[in-house]
Structure 1
Amino acid sequence: MAEIKVPELAESITEGTISQWLKKPGDFVHKGESIAELETDKVNVELMAEESGVITQLLFNEGDTVRVGDTIAIVSAEAEASTPPVAEAPQQPVQEMQPTAVQAEPVKQEAEAKSAQRPIASPAARKLAREKGIDLAAVTPVDPLGRIRKHDVEAHASRPAAASPQTPAVEGTKPAAVESFDPEKPVERMKMSRRRQTIAKRLVEVQHTAAMLTTFNEIDMTAVMNLRKRRKDAFYQEHEVRLGFMSFFTKAVVAALKKYPLLNAEIQGDEIIVKKYYDIGVAVSTDEGLVVPVVRDADKKNFAEIEREILHLATKARENKLSLKDLQGGTFTITNGGVFGSLMSTPILNGPQVGILGMHKVQLRPVAIDEERMENRPMMYVALSYDHRIIDGKEAVGFLVKVKELLEDPEQLLLES
């Protein structure tokens, strides 16, 4: 008999949800063959059999949460491919093919032991938590992948207690839900996916842990649109990828970050980490929520390489094929609400980053050319959200003006790149 366990996925990922079983009891599996799909906070991962044999038991149902190290299935290495299924009716749901309570007890005990594992935290964070008597499980990390750092513990220690002494919270209980809708009228109740829960949690966290502020400007897109119109056919024939706005904006952002480096930084405790490389996150909307894959070393890539990389990452995102490496370590983010028709918005920071640029819809608007003339020009509002803890208005406005100048005279991008 062989056990199929949830493997180590990444340092900051300790659990996931079984989104789909690819095999059922009675199926023969080869070593290395996928048997289930696991949904984590960021990516979907296929779990593979470590031995060849017949699956005799599935220990969890689709939708169940499992932790790293949990046994999720049993494979009989001695069984033959012709071994009949454990259940008489293959169509029966997984729960009717579960092992008996006696058989499942060791698995249950193992799962409980795993659930008691310590949160992922840096040594400095653990030391500070011990000194202050803080339970790391109660600390909310800024890191989008859940790693607790020293400044997270400091922030937790400075917050007031959530419950008063007169009304102590009872562990494991939740406040009674207050229905805000008419129970006599039709509603649909849907469980949030793990990814959507994580997105919701991170977006709320960053607004509680950063001093977020947004500044706006507008860009006359005439020059970029004329350049694209003249060059798009030749560009596509040479590079087999379309020339879009994202490569122009990525190049302009990199040039502006070089001039205003604090926007390419992050805060760790009482230190500012200024990054001397430019890994630009590009927000991509998928059916399961927003993800931000990263274009590595954007300063070293030309327009075609940037467009090709963005297309590749967007395709992987929509096919649920992004790896953790694709999502980790961005230094600044660009998001484009304009593809959905948004005219203006205030993007939320992608912590621990301290800056995010929001692009919006290009729309014809009357613009004063001089005191005598007005023209209809293709204009785009842009928004920069930033962490006011380390970035002042002067730097934020200067950054956005630099992006505007480069895009209104895109030939400068050749000199700035």
Structure 2
Amino acid sequence: MSDNVIALKGMRGMIADNMRRSLDEAAQLTHHASCDVTRLLAYKKLLNDEGIKVSVEDLLCDCVVSTLQAHPAMNGRVKGKDIVLSSAIHLSVAIALPGNLLVAPTIFDAETLSLQQKGEARKALIAKARKGKLSIAEMTKGTFTVSNLGLSRVEHFTPIINIPQIAILGIGQTVKRPEINDQGDIEARSMLGLSLTFDHRAVDGGPAAAFLTSLCECIEQV
């Protein structure tokens, strides 16, 4: 029985080349954290009960945008010897496609959009990606990327930076864990794994950790 040989060509080849180039060019480091999404999940249910249909990813992206506004050093691109921080947040969202393909199109000016508008924009990008209708700008002009593996059993992972962007956030599985509350009692809480990979040429470990901490606080205070 012969082996199945799959050529790295076409879009798969482009993805492979970009991944290799990212690891070659960027000084990549990953911070991991877990945050309590019990309140966020309750808020999602409340919105859905009121007829406002949003996903967990939509709510997380909304928190990412808010946190990037407070930590602008994470929002930008590295071009040669320059760090170019963007005044606008162009949020790239990784989308898996059939055939083991992956794209990360961009929600432009995400800081100007409401929660619902961000969700609608993300859905529109998914539809365009599946039809192969994404523009070059949508594929290349992002300033920060979110990659969601929340439907898998992966809690933490090491996402590869979508160069020349400064950072990428990986979203892992949500699991129930016993946690001690403010009253000292143990209760079951929904805990989400987050992984932030950043380019150490542009951002040091401390500011990256501060961003991830602020993001967790934003999520937990929804």
Fold shared per TM-score above 0.5: yes
Supply the distance in 1 between the matched residues of 2:189 and 2:105 (Cα, whole angstroms): 32
* TM-score of the two chains, using structure 2 as the length reference: 0.94
Measure how far apart 1:316 and its partner are. 1.5
* Partner of residue 256, structure 1: 67
Cα contact 1:235–1:243 (8 A) shared by 2: no
Supply the distance in 2 between the matched residues of 1:381 and 1:191 (Cα, whole angstroms): 34
Deviations 1:188-229 (A, max 9, x none): 122234111111111111111111000011110111111111
SS across alignment from 1:256: helix
Q: 1:216 is matched with which residue: 20, 28, 32?
A: 32
Supply the distance in 1 between the matched residues of 2:178 and 2:207 (Cα, whole angstroms): 29
Richer in helix (by share):
2
Cα contact 1:264–1:332 (8 A) shared by 2: yes
Deviations 1:122-177 (A, max 9, x none): xxxxxxxxxxxxxxxxxxxxxxxxxxxxxxxxxxxxxxxxxxxxxxxxxxxxxxxx
| Counterparts of residues 344-355 of structure 1 (less than 5 Å) | 344-355=156-167
* Partner of residue 196, structure 1: 12
Supply the distance in 2 between the matched residues of 1:405 and 1:245 (Cα, whole angstroms): 16
Letter of the 1:272 partner, please give it.
Answer: I
1:275 to 2:91 alignment = no
Q: 1:231 is matched with which residue: 43, 47, 67?
A: 47
Deviations 1:299-340 (A, max 9, x none): 000011111111111112122222223212000000101123
**Bigger Rg, structure 1 or 2:** 1
Supply the distance in 2 between the matched residues of 1:192 and 1:389 (Cα, whole angstroms): 30
SS across alignment from 1:375: strand
1:328 to 2:119 alignment = no
Letter of the 1:262 partner, please give it.
Answer: A
CA RMSD of aligned residues (A): 1.5
Letter of the 1:204 partner, please give it.
Answer: R
Supply the distance in 1 between the matched residues of 2:150 and 2:84 (Cα, whole angstroms): 32
Deviations 1:9-58 (A, max 9, x none): xxxxxxxxxxxxxxxxxxxxxxxxxxxxxxxxxxxxxxxxxxxxxxxxxx
Q: Structure 1's 372 and 316: CA in aligned 2 closer, same or farther, altered over 3 A?
A: same
Cα contact 1:250–1:298 (8 A) shared by 2: no
1:265 to 2:73 alignment = no
Letter of the 1:207 partner, please give it.
Answer: L
SS across alignment from 1:341: coil
Cα contact 1:280–1:330 (8 A) shared by 2: yes
Supply the distance in 2 between the matched residues of 1:211 and 1:199 (Cα, whole angstroms): 19
Supply the distance in 1 between the matched residues of 2:2 and 2:186 (Cα, whole angstroms): 53
1:318 to 2:130 alignment = yes
SS across alignment from 2:44: helix
Measure how far apart 1:287 and its partner are. 1.1
| Counterparts of residues 128-147 of structure 1 (less than 5 Å) | none
Supply the distance in 1 between the matched residues of 2:38 and 2:175 (Cα, whole angstroms): 11
* Partner of residue 359, structure 1: 171
1:293 to 2:105 alignment = yes
Greater RCO (Cα-Cα under 8 Å, separation 6 or more)? 2
Measure how far apart 1:371 and its partner are. 7.5
Supply the distance in 2 between the matched residues of 1:326 and 1:266 (Cα, whole angstroms): 15
SS across alignment from 1:203: helix
Structure 2: tracts of 5 or more residues without a match: none
Cα contact 2:32–2:156 (8 A) shared by 1: no
Measure how far apart 1:253 and its partner are. 1.4
Cα contact 2:178–2:186 (8 A) shared by 1: yes
Deviations 1:334-376 (A, max 9, x none): 0101123322111000000010011111111111225842111
Letter of the 1:189 partner, please give it.
Answer: V
Letter of the 1:215 partner, please give it.
Answer: H
Letter of the 2:126 partner, please give it.
Answer: A
Divergent runs of 4+, >3 A: none
Cα contact 1:206–1:349 (8 A) shared by 2: yes
Q: Structure 1's 402 and 323: CA in aligned 2 closer, same or farther, altered over 3 A?
A: same
